[in-house]
Chains A and B, each alone.
Chain A
Amino acid sequence: MTRNLYHDKRAQWLLYGAVFLALAAVPLFVSDGFLLNQFATYGVYGLLALSISLGWGFGGILNLGQGIAFGLAAYGMAMTMQMQSQDPDSNPIPPFMLNNSLDHLPAFWEPFWSTGGGILLALVIPTLFYVVFGSLMFRARVSGPFIAIMTLAMLSAWYTLILDMQPYTNGANGLSPPSPLTVFSTQIDPYSPTAYWIVCGLLILATAGTKLLTQSKFGLVVQALRGDPERVRFLGYNVAVYETVIYAISGFIAALAGCAWVMLVQYVSPAQLDTNFSITMVIWAGIGGRLSLIGSILGAFLIQGGQSYLGDQFLNTWLLLLGAFFIVVVRVMPKGLAGLLELALGALARPRRGDGTGARADGAALPAAGE
């Protein structure tokens, strides 16, 4: 029986390697700072799509509130960069706080004096929040659509809170650190290949790590519980723990994305926690193929690229088209564009068992989970 090349582990890694290589080589051919910055931003969206693919595609957790991790980390990073432009002696308080009548730096801003500490907090706090919130949800055996609604409600809560705490967060105006990030006394110009490579490196590491995770025993259990949590529970696994861990890892990746994003744009506002943005992330993964990590990432590239380059020609019709396209994807190809590739490669291979069995998971999981 010839196997579908799509499900061949080696072929998959080959594809991943090729995509990684192509991404890393971009600055060798592109010297336009604007393009590098824009591509790097797509890389951030790729990270977000990856995190959605991990949670939703592999864990079955439809998270409509991924903006929580992204936004909180972005705020952490922006606070770090803001404090880099303050001086502990002569000018310790960010300008917007002075306008809000704060005469000393709030205690929770203090750790952000340290660049390393600040970035660490920017990553740890969202992840920790996901652990706590996730274990609350999953221990209560909240499932399916309810998770979607609860994450959405939590996102709205954070959004409202950040908006309302104007003296500490600058409300709707958000934070715009005046100069780029400086690490090890080098300023990272957001329009330079360096910035691009940092984001690219994060994306490659996160993707490879996630891929390995999904192929591990842990990953297989997670995929099994996506199919049928009750059965996995009866087998003696603590389902809530598995779900919480996968949810938190997905949050951590989104937090990485948040940090990288602020490094590139020097800006964060409550808009990063807007519900529409979080749902857009789900659309990237949905159209690209939520069951395929690389498919989700490429989905983000495709849609955001389309947004940037097609949008201005079509103006109003673009969103209409995107909505219609998304409906078609959900309706007839739930596995997204990656699913199309799977079908095509399946057709190339000799006739298989003539049904839609491919419908379970990304090929990597099949040997153990499927057979």
Chain B
Amino acid sequence: MSATPHVEVKGLTVTARNGAGEIFPIVSDIDFALNRGEVLALIGESGSGKTTIALTLLGHARPGAKIAEGSIRVGECDLTKLDRGALAQLRGNRIAYIAQSAASAFNPSRTIMDQVVEPALIHNLMPRAEAESKAVDLFRALALPFPETIGARYPHQLSGGQLQRLMAAMALITDPELVILDEPTTALDVTTQIEVLRAFKTVVLERGATAIYVSHDLAVVAQMADQIVVLNQGRIREAGAAAQILHAPADDYTRTLMAAARPAVRPAPPKIALPAAPLLEIHGMTAGYGKIGKDGRPRIPVLRDINLTIERGATLGVIGESGSGKSTIARVIAGLLPPASGQVLLDGETLPPGLHGRSRDQFRRVQLVFQNADTALNPAHSVGRILTRPLAFYHGLKGNAARMRVLELLDLIRLPATLIDQPIGGLSGGQKQRINLARALAADPQLILCDEVTSALDTVVGAAILELMAELRRELGIATMFISHDISTVRAICDDILVLYAGTMVETGPREAFGVAPFHPYTDLLIGSVPEMRAGWLEESHAGIAPPPVGGQGDHPDLCRFLPRCPARVDGLCNTTPPPRRPLSKGSQILCHLGDESLRPS
């Protein structure tokens, strides 16, 4: 390895101008260096300046921002001294960029191959035929299906994980000296993330590419990086070798990040003496979109045969990947989507299926909290107005009494009373999510449906929201349905867990049952896909191995939905007969042909 590092950033400061025309720094005094073939991770929360730094390595600053000081050296060029033309020569050629959302980075009207070979053609590096054969090699290296023909498809025909890998192929086609990966797996499900990470790692190792990996997730970074730089508010908090940062962090902030990434397991609150009926029961519920057919199923079914109960003051975790129908359960309970069949019982009484016919009191007892507080709070209203409305609507509180109650609520969610007259626009993400929660609490509900309430937030802020929710639950005894894609969070805070795959319940049980194997094969995949905060986990993980071959699938509508991805599937059984619901000795119930003895032990 050469004595001088391949990439070197010294004293970098990027400034921007605010609304009043004052110049302020976004990032300042950034120094780091990496040798050829190394991977450096930039880690931090949103607003820490990690993407800003990554973009400067392309010689780019976002509109309104400016590289004010410092030098950025890649190979022998100082990027701060190059003009537009010289930078255009470098970009997409010697320096490549992989963006967070591949789905929006591809042009939907052109084929994949056209777009993947484009960098090589723009820079006149090779003839088209050669570029195409190189692209096919890359597709194979990235473990994409049908590497020979996938290039002829259009972006909408491929999944998010596949597009993310294709974007890597586009970046690597010119054999760049430096690859910048900007949160490339953040938008993906964990089970997809592990596949993409594996593909990235193989390709980066094989080609000896130098890479900068931007992420907020320490565990993901642990799999990829040789060096880690921890950023907070535009400054480096700690920088060093990956192993040192992960196992012996020296900085307080790094320790906060690490702690937030591993949610603390909370003891279950003492069980309250239960009245006869549970708070919420769902029996045989099927729901979806489109007309309901003769067999009682909607044309586009989303949920099939859902049964669940939530006791008073208990927390039920619902977990599954995107598209599994977990938010639809909340919508059905709230009345936004009438189910095609089945019943929802609140306190032993059947709830009317849709919004129509529900009494104001029934509305009050079930409150919905959406994932994204940016869209769940009306931007035209003030904090006070948002919190006053449920008070007036359900409890008839007006004027001073309502204002007093709003102040109490603000105190309950640990926000200053001065926010009461603020418009929503000026609040931070965490503050908005607290208001979102407080609006539900204002109704004085018995059940709160929380739809991914922490997933749009930074880990540290999300951990604070979870802490607040646990506290509120202890004090107010409100039952919660906690919908999430993150199994470690669900395992930490819920009493019971329901795992959903493509609209069917594949495993249900108390949370203790989710700490020990055997699991349903899908639960096993989910748990096995959550990155652990140590190097080498990616290589050891068994998740995402190819399933054994099976013959043709029968056309029975109730066949196991997980069959195409199941590593434990049995030919002649799983592809012909619908699976039964069976108990496991550890206390959970699964929808599978396999039982205690034949499922993978831990």
A and B: interacting chains: no
Chain A contacts to B: CB under 8 angstroms: none
Chain B contacts to A: CB under 8 angstroms: none
